[in-house]
Amino acid sequence: MRKALGVPSVMVMALVLALGVAACGSSNGGQAKGGSITISQTSQPDALDPALSYVVEALEPIWVVYTPLLTYRHAEGAAGSEVIPGLATDLPRISNGDKTYTLTLRKGLKYSDGTPVKASDFEHSIKRVLNLESPGSFYFEGIKGASAYLSGGDPDADIPGIQTNDKTGEITINLTAPDASFTNVLAMTFAGLVPGDTPFENMTQDPPPGVGAYMITKSVPNREFVLEKNPRFAAAEIPDVPEAKIKTITTKITPNLIQQTEDVIDNRLDYMQDPPAADLKAEVIERFGPDGTEEQRYEEFSTASTYFFFLNNEIPPFDDPKVREAVNIGLDKTALARLYAGGLAPGCSFLPPGMPGYSEAIDIEDCPWGDPNQQPDVERAKQLIREAGAEGAEVTVWGDTVDPTPKITQAYADQLNQLGFNAEPKIIDGAVYFPTVGNQKTEAQTGFASWYTDFPHPLGFSILVDGATIGPTNNTNLGYIDDKHINDELAALSEEPNLTEVTGRWEELNDYIVDGAYMLPFGHRKLATFVSDEINFDECTVVSPVYQNDYSSFCLKSAE
Amino acid sequence: MTASRDEEILGSPGTEFSLDAPAELAHDPAERPGLGPWRLTARRLRRNKMALAFGVVFIALVAACLAAPLWADNVAHTSAEENHLSDTIVLDGKTTNVVDLLGKPIGPTWGGEFFLGADGNGRDIMVRLLYGGRNSLLVGISAALGTILMGLVLGLLAGYSRGPVDSVISRAMDVLWAFPVILLGVAIGTVLAVQGLELGPLTLESDSLLIPILIISVIYIPYLARPVRGQVLAIREREFIEAARAQGMGSARIVFTEVLPNVASTLVVFLPLMIANAILLEAALSFLGAGIQPPNPSWGTMIAEGVERIISAPHLAIVPGAMLVLTVLSLNVFGEGVRDALDPRARVRIEH
């Protein structure tokens, strides 16, 4: 459920960074092509295989190695949320009651190893996603025949819903039902093309060739992987998908975050994928922040994420709307923000900043439960809890062991106690947390959760509140929210192909969810870009709202 | 444990009272003939000023930890679990955040509230240190007593019965011994921290202190049972046991009246050392998240939380670390003193 900071496909919205890709000139001599950099990640990516990669540690590199038929513009802010043609010549033609998508592959494309790209490679790539039990398989099960293909167990079987023509390059995809987010699904890296003979196995140790600015030339799990500039990519001439500027990017897996931060400070590392260690954050901001004493090389950006506590709507005490309102009123969100070392913007909204349907008003000043940046009205919350007869109710607060969640869980439990509950935190290993609280038998009353959408479409958040998704196990709707209006509206909106036409309805639905206190949102995560003095920070650090830091934008101040 | 553990702990060589001690220890001219063994021990211990000093330090630590509620209620005015994330405190006439906006907690105030500063959740370090000490000591002492009880029973049973009973118990001890202590502790602790423990009528919640007590007690059983077994094997062949048998005494009576008094000194020697070991293991397990569960404080969890702020707030890890060192050091030095006093020639050791 929670996907991060090492979270899948984080969508980063353009609230903060005003780096100005178009900014002209540089006091440091402008961009320089070539050279090598060394960067770090705290943990090994889940996979270096487009069919399987899902966490942000993997998606940052995978995005610039495996271009799908559609992709996102390499830009910041709203522009970076725009779906553009990738390996396809144009955006899809949608027909047959929004159930058929037709695309055409660009001509003359070659993988990084020189193999020509064929239209049928798309079907093979999707088969790999389905076959390998990828976390992304869910998104492609709406393709006609995909479910039967999965249950059939034959990897080489045909998926009837995908028709390809290697001669013309035409690719036709038929869905079983309209899916308003399917264009975004086609732009996910899961749909990144790989050659038709790529085995049906996790290729992390020997990643297959792709069509992208970079190619992975070395992969030693838990130690390092190396990206080198793809010499064949320039010939592809894909508009708005830039070439690599740096020749070699070596990624080291370095678990010690403090060590990483010190290394970037001292220019031994050129970029760290995680934000700086909380312990050194003050120094980093003071020295390298926008108002720092030295040349800027650090900046924070907001992400399209919502951090919240789920409230089980089915069992006491949170089955009572009054109790849910009380905890929304009484939660001190600014206190929790301190546990993220300032890396959390307090808020009330279910949908995150930058997402269509998000409203800053409901998130901050018009939040029905009080301004999240101010102290809460604890007395009113206590009063409501007394009126609901929930005073002294025993509450188990669930949380996982991934820092800083244990501290968040304890702080939340303590706040519940201040409001009159008898709350105890229960912190369990991160590997079993979501299967445990997502199991209906656990009857988890409340606990920590966060959500980063996989693409810039509010449907990516719908599974948190959609009653239709509730099942006995692996629930993402952890609060077991089953409201008829929400369910009906989600069903209707999921069939609306034009998001801009229904943004108002998404905003109304967001207001409805916040007003109903179905869950307890407390903010939206902020992450950061922090690079060495060698990187041209002003011109070469583009933050994509979908995939965070864009490796293809990195360049050095001077060529080596 | 090092490679020498077999010689030092396992079986008879470790606990047998060998004759290779220095002559001056074996024949202390100050020892008056006719004194009982316990009075002789007390007299020897009184002469070991270092051991006595550390014994006093340990007692002082225990007393301070027992006084935790007094400090919390009357001086710090907070509890060990209460968060003060958004609170402020006036220091030198200036209002200061207990935890600043970047999450850095306040350092020692050397006053009543936040005497040793606050942790990342704005909790009073001094209060948590004292309550954490109570938990660590409670777990350490209870686990050591549990180990001694279970280890003694198994060691007596195996050593005196010999034969199949001995084989079964010894092999079980071998299996338990084969696991690295921390690994076994983390494995059991992680499982029990998720689902608690249900054994027939016995139900333990996942955050119960009895869980780390149980884990540590069980893990250390071979460390006691094996030396006791070795000692019993030797004792049961001695003439006074033969004499007891000849008088018609039953096995149970022989064990309780003849064998047990002869292994009592070993138990007394082991107790402080086992407590020290148990406290260390508890801290290690808590550090790794498999021991005492939050929000219950323990020195191990405090160190783990403090490590994240080791540069900007080093006191978070140093203070509980220092308490741990002082406690274990005092127990070890005192325990060594007790061992020397009981029998200067004994070579019983517990290695960490």
pLDDT score of A1: 45
Residues 52-91 of B with CB under 8 A from A: 81-83, 85-86
Contacts 24+ apart (CB under 8 A), A155-159: A155/A127, A155/A131, A155/A200, A158/A123, A159/A123, A159/A126, A159/A127, A159/A130
Enumerate residues 6+ apart whose C-beta is below 8 A from B239: none
Inter-chain CB proximity B103 and A258 less than 8 Å: no
Chain B contact set for A415 (CB, 8 A): 83
Which 8-state DSSP code applies to residue A277?
P
Range B278-306 average pLDDT: 90
Q: Which residue type does B47 have?
A: R
Q: Give the one of B86, B104, B309 whose C-beta lies nearest to A334's C-beta.
A: B86
Range A275-296 average pLDDT: 94
* pLDDT band with cut points at 50, 70 and 90 for residue B11: very low
Q: Give the one of B82, B295, B308 whose C-beta lies nearest to A278's C-beta.
A: B308
Q: Give the one of B102, B206, B289 whose C-beta lies nearest to A341's C-beta.
A: B102
**Does residue B211 sit at the A interface (CB-CB below 8 Å)?**
no
Inter-chain CB proximity A407 and B121 less than 8 Å: yes
Q: Which two tokens stand for residue B126?
A: 């001094």
**Boundaries of every domain in chain A:** 61-191, 305-527
Q: Which domains does chain B have, with CATH numbers?
A: 130-337 (1.10.3720.10)
> How far is A335 from chain B, CA to nearest CA, in Å?
5
pLDDT score of B180: 86
* pLDDT band with cut points at 50, 70 and 90 for residue B290: confident
> Of B168, B64, B151, B164, nearest to B116 (Cα)?
B64
Residues B294-306 pLDDT 10s? 888 999 999 998 9
Q: With contact defined as beta carbons under 8 Å apart, do A289 and A513 qualify?
A: no
Range A274-302 average pLDDT: 94
pLDDT score of A496: 87
Q: Give the one of B82, B103, B295 whose C-beta lies nearest to A339's C-beta.
A: B103
Inter-chain CB proximity B81 and A332 less than 8 Å: no
pLDDT score of B288: 86
- pLDDT of residue A12 exceeding 60, the answer is no
Task: Map tokens 């970079």 to a residue.
Answer: A214
- pLDDT of residue A346 exceeding 90, the answer is yes
pLDDT score of B193: 73
pLDDT score of B30: 53
> Of A180, A191, A181, A175, nearest to A102 (Cα)?
A175
**Does residue A378 sit at the B interface (CB-CB below 8 Å)?**
no
CA A100 to chain centre: 27
Superfamily of domain A61-191: Dipeptide-binding Protein; Domain 1 (3.90.76.10)
Prediction pTM value: 0.83
pLDDT score of B341: 84
Enumerate residues 6+ apart whose C-beta is below 8 A from A77: A13, A14, A17, A545
A-interface mutation test, from B87, B123, B311, B316, most A Cβ less than 10 A away: B311
A-interface mutation test, from B81, B85, B104, most A Cβ less than 10 A away: B85
**Does residue B301 sit at the A interface (CB-CB below 8 Å)?**
no
pLDDT score of A149: 93
**Does residue A410 sit at the B interface (CB-CB below 8 Å)?**
yes
pLDDT score of A146: 95
Chain A contact set for B124 (CB, 8 A): none
CATH tag, A305-527: 3.10.105.10
Task: Map tokens 């984080």 to a residue.
Answer: A10
3-state SS, one letter per residue, for A234-251: HHHCCCCCCCCCCCEEEE
**Does residue A429 sit at the B interface (CB-CB below 8 Å)?**
yes
Q: Which residue type does B153 have?
A: V
pLDDT score of B352: 44
A-interface mutation test, from B121, B127, B207, B310, most A Cβ less than 10 A away: B121
Q: Which residue type does B239 have?
A: E
Interface contacts A/B by beta carbons within 8 Å: 86
**Does residue A278 sit at the B interface (CB-CB below 8 Å)?**
yes
- pLDDT of residue A530 exceeding 90, the answer is yes
Inter-chain CB proximity B83 and A411 less than 8 Å: yes
Q: Give the one of B100, B104, B289 whose C-beta lies nearest to A401's C-beta.
A: B289
- A401: nearest CA in chain B? B289
Helices and strands per DSSP (H, E), number in chain A: 17, 20
Chain B contact set for A335 (CB, 8 A): 83, 85-86
